[in-house]
């Protein structure tokens, strides 16, 4: 039996895992799952299938690195067009902004 490369204590067993990206389900896929820490590992063929599904759904590549800019006395970020389309954002729509710790900012569409 293969040992888990993450926790180095558990054994990897065949199973299925639900894959998701940005809160969108990509389906269930065959994987090796650690019976101790729960970490899962997919093979290269499965990873290609997951990537293809994400591309079909239009969510592959949505993560972006952006810069904070100054706007008057405030700071501002621009939302890239592909993310705005994915979230169905439009001018005038309201959002709720709040920190989650000191390194994460949550924006909820209301």
Per-residue pLDDT tens for 59-69?
Answer: 999 999 999 99
| 105: in domain | yes
| 29: in domain | yes
pLDDT tops 90 at residue 1: no
Summarize the confidence of residues 15-33 as an average pLDDT: 97
Instruction: Please give the model's pTM, rounded to 2 decimal places.
Output: 0.74
As for how many domains the chain has, the answer is: 2
Which structural domain range is residue 36 located in?
12-56
| 63: in domain | no
| 38: in domain | yes
- Burial code (b: 16+ CB inside 10 Å, e: under 16) for 86-110 equals eeeeeeeeeeeeeeeeeeeeeeeee
């Amino acid at each position: 039996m293969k040992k888990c490369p993450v926790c180095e204590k558990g054994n990897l067993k065949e199973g299925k895992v639900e894959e998701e990206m940005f809160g969108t389900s990509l389906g269930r896929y065959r994987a090796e799952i650690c019976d101790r820490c729960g970490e899962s590992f997919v093979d290269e063929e499965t990873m290609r299938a997951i990537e293809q599904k994400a591309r079909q759904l239009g969510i592959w590549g949505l993560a972006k690195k952006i810069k904070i800019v100054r706007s008057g006395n405030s700071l501002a970020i621009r939302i890239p067009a592909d993310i705005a389309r994915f979230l169905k954002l439009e001018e005038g729509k309201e959002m709720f902004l709040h920190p989650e710790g000191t390194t994460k900012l949550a924006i909820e569409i209301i």
